[in-house]
Amino acid sequence: MRIQAADIEDVYRELGTSTSGLTEQEAKKRILEFGENTIVHRKKRSVILKLLPQFTHFFAILLWIAAALALVGNYYEPGGGMNILAYTIVGVIFINAFFTFIQEYRAEKAAEALQNLLPHKVTVVRGGMESCVDSKELVPGDVVKLAEGDRISADARMVEQFELRVNNSALTGESKPKKRSSDPYDLDLVDSPNIVFAGTSVTSGAGTAVVFATAMGTEFGKIAHLTQTVEAEPSPLQKETYRVTRIVAKLATGMGILFFIMGTLIGRPFWENFLFAIGIIVANVPEGLLPTVSLSLAMGSQRMAKRNALIKNLNAVETLGCTTVICTDKTGTLTQNQMTVRRIFANGKVVEVKGTGYEPMGEFQDESGAKLDEENLLQLKPLLVNAALCNDSKLTKDGGWSIKGDPTEGALLVAAAKAIEFEKVIRENKRVHMIPFDSNRKRMTTINETADGKVAYVKGALETVLPVCTHVLMNGSVEEMTEPVKVAIQEMNDTFANSALRVLAFAFRQAPEEYTVESVESGLVFMGLMGMIDPPREEVPESIRKCKTAGIRTIMITGDNSVTAVAIAREIGLVESDDPVVLTAEDMKTLSHTELMEKLSAPEIVFARMTPEFKMDIVDALSEKGEIVAMTGDGVNDAPALKRADIGIAMGISGTDVAKESADMILMDDNFASIVNAVEEGRAVFDNIKKFVTYIFASNIPEIIPFIAYVMLGVPLPLTIIQILGIDLGTDMLPALALGTEKPEPGVMQRPPRPPTARLLDKALIMRAYFFLGPIEALAAMGGFFHVLSNGGWVWGTALAAGDTLYRKATTACMTGIVVTQVANGMVCRTARENVSKIGFFTNRLLLAGIVFEIGLQILLVYTSTGQMIFGLSPIPISEWLFLIPFAILLFVAEETRKMIVRRRGA
């Protein structure tokens, strides 16, 4: 049955109920049949099931194999330290796993947040008696009573109403309260004025409704289902990290196998070749890459939090940096979600009202922008008195200025409060009678006892107020209404409406003796017009401009009407042309997917009257076009698209719980401008990741060369596997993290977004790390190794035992050579093209601390018995350090020279 199209009698009959409601026995039977009125959660995976994939991805499997081979090697060749190697590699696997699995919890919280939005108690009629029951006990057929301020717990059909209006913004995104009716309508369910929905609220009036859907059968529940079933796509950084690890892992494995075969061919013993193969694999695989990336993203999210952007999903930090499209809701995101009077027409003049929000601060200006003088303001006050007296809202200052009641009436009261002592006016002009607003008259009238006797104040739509006006108030004098004056009033009303202002007309008269509609609302004196709107946030136009400069496209997707949407878009600079593409939900129903893709190619496009399903269609279409999509929003209706988008951004203050739980990022100040700051940080994060990848990969060459020399040149192994891990997971870790904290470089927001095809491990990075910086470090490492052997009298071809002091000192020098040159490498990796001096040698304090840590840890390992025992080291004299330092200077000078050449060539 189309419940919205049925007569009231048919509604009761089809739902098996009556005006007396269900009996308690019938309600209990229906609870068993339909279940409780709660959101059903999809079964969650256990923590174990979430954690297991972190141990079974490609990178982890490679390390498991390396650990297993090390244990096998220790079994057949005990005493070589292979068991320590195996345990260390397993530790690396666990570190990587626990750093990444904690991000899995956010997706399942969305449905729980939806449940929290539902009220706990509701008034129902059962057995002819009104009673309060828990909202979860509602069933189809229940007759519910609704009053101002109530949250609605289930989808219901209105059967009786007294000027009842509801706020559907949490469901549809439209800010204007909607009038409800009990008449049948042959419209779609969500558009029918006789339907109230779960999760919305009553702003004014009262009524009675019959429940026809509960729990997951409500529109609210359908959104919960959508939210639970939307699967999040891997972020660009996740995809690129997976790609890098696969490439490096395959390369490492291939090299290990290749050199194992080569060692066998030249007659090396099996276990030496086996050790060598594992060494090549471990040296090539950057064990610290994944935890370093995770920690870098976490530190980036901390910086964003200081700029009012709370990151829930760490990968969202970098995704922001390559965002190409922001799909944004209007109400509460681009606008303040506070109706505000912007323009007044009175005494034949237009007055601009300044100041936004509910705080009664601001001033009145003429069309030239000059503040109204006392005389003109005095002539405006009768209209403002009408706005304050013909009004049922309340303006309070409890914990900040707020409105209780209808937002439109609240806007009128705030406007009045900017020029008159509204509380005194209301107190001294007591209301003695009211003729409430109804949809036929489209007027509201109050009669107040004033100093001039009883006065009737009227407000309503111009088309119903103007015809009953016989006079007009002009500069304090009552004049006869003429046709030219009527035309001028109508033209101004149209001008206001075309600017997306909601317009109300005001009039008054001395109250007659009889308070009937016919006698009171006739022979009125027209006072003026007030136009109001939910205004844009002050920071939004500048934010939109910055997004355009940064090559980021912004698309408005709102539940509001197209006139309002385009007007706001034009005011904030989102739309600049005379003919933008405007699509509504009705248009979307007739568009094919291909046609939608074509429409999205338009330079300026606005979507109005959207539903959650269409929002996801838009996000999906943009994704197919290769865009990296960010979706902002604050309502329940935004949740599925927030989750489907590459990055979902919810509002922290005005946002619903479900929007926050579905999002990857929350703007704590609800400020669209904070997105720009977050994008800047996101772009810096990817740049910084490339910096520490360069830093980490550069050390791979001096870690590989010793093994090649070991096999090819027949020298003692210059660097052991455990020493490699000491570098990768010890001395290198903090400087690598510090590179991830570099501030955004100048001009980062003047360049287009990074293409999704841009590689983390590109040709330039490989050439710089593997073929320029790495060889210099390898020269230092091998130079230190042979320098110690030479000073110790070693003769080429002489074998040295693993415990030989000379051998241990030589490997110590090799390891120290890498550490020393990594200090210089850390400094030069801070920039890709600019001289380090341009950003300052001492501006990254964490890097300075990392360098101190790096040198300090190496000293600790070299000169303490514990470090010597674990890593097979031996103390070296200060002269060896002095021998190695020039290599660090060489690396610094060479890299800065290379950057200078690159800049001059403009490459």
**CA–CA separation, 205 and 178 (whole Å):** 11
Which residue reads 């009175």 in tokens? 346
> ∠93-98-101 over CA atoms, to 5°?
115
State the Cα–Cα distance between residues 66 and 88, nearest whole angstrom.
11
In order of 92, 568, 697, the CA distances from 99 in angstroms are 11, 43, 21
Sequence-separated (6 or more) residues with CB below 8 Å from residue 516: none
CA 642 to mean position of chain CA atoms: 8
Distance CA 96, CA 123 (A): 53
Asked if 605 and 558 touch (Cβ cutoff 8 Å), the reply is no
How far is CA 702 from its chain centroid?
A: 42
Give the closest residue to 143 by CA, choosing from 300, 27, 259, 233. Answer: 27
Rounded CA separation 811/789 (Å) = 10
Secondary structure (DSSP) of 216-253: GGSHHHHHHHHHHHPPPPPPHHHHHHHHHHHHHHHHHH
Residues 6+ apart with CB under 8 A from 581: 599, 602, 604, 605, 606
Structure tokens that stand for 378 in this block:
């005095």
3 state DSSP class of 479: strand
**146: β partners:** 207
- The Cα–Cα gap between 206 and 165 comes to 8
Question: Could you say which DSSP state residue 758 is in?
Answer: -
Half-sphere exposure at residue 179, Cβ-oriented, CA atoms within 13 angstroms: 10
The secondary structure of the chain in percent helix, strand, coil, rounded to multiples of 5, reads 50, 15, 30
Q: With the C-alpha atoms ordered 94, 100, 103, 104, is the resulting torsion angle positive or negative?
A: negative
Instruction: Return d(Cα 214, Cα 37) in angstroms, integer.
Output: 5
Amino acid at the residue 573: G
Handedness of CA 768, 771, 777, 779 (dihedral sign): negative
Q: Which residues fall within 8 angstroms of residue 220, CB to CB, at 6 or more apart? A: 39, 114, 117, 118, 155, 171, 197, 198, 199, 636
Tell me the CA distances in angstroms from 766 to 241, 725, 774, 894, one per residue in order: 15, 22, 10, 17
Nearby residues of 269 by Cβ (< 8 Å), 6 or more positions away = none
How far lies 448's CA from each of 390, 422, 491, 843, in Å? 9, 14, 31, 69
Look up residue 128 and give its two tokens: 């002819």
Instruction: Please give the positions annotated as active site.
Output: 329
Element (H, E) at 171: helix 169-172
Count of alpha carbons within 13 angstroms of residue 147, beta-carbon side: 5
Residues 298 and 314: beta-carbon distance below 8 Å: yes
Question: Which class for 9: exposed (0-12), middle (13-18), buried (19 or more C-beta within 10 A)?
Answer: exposed
Pair 397, 326: CB distance under 8 Å = no
- The candidate with the shortest Cα–Cα distance to 177, out of 22, 349, 331, is 331
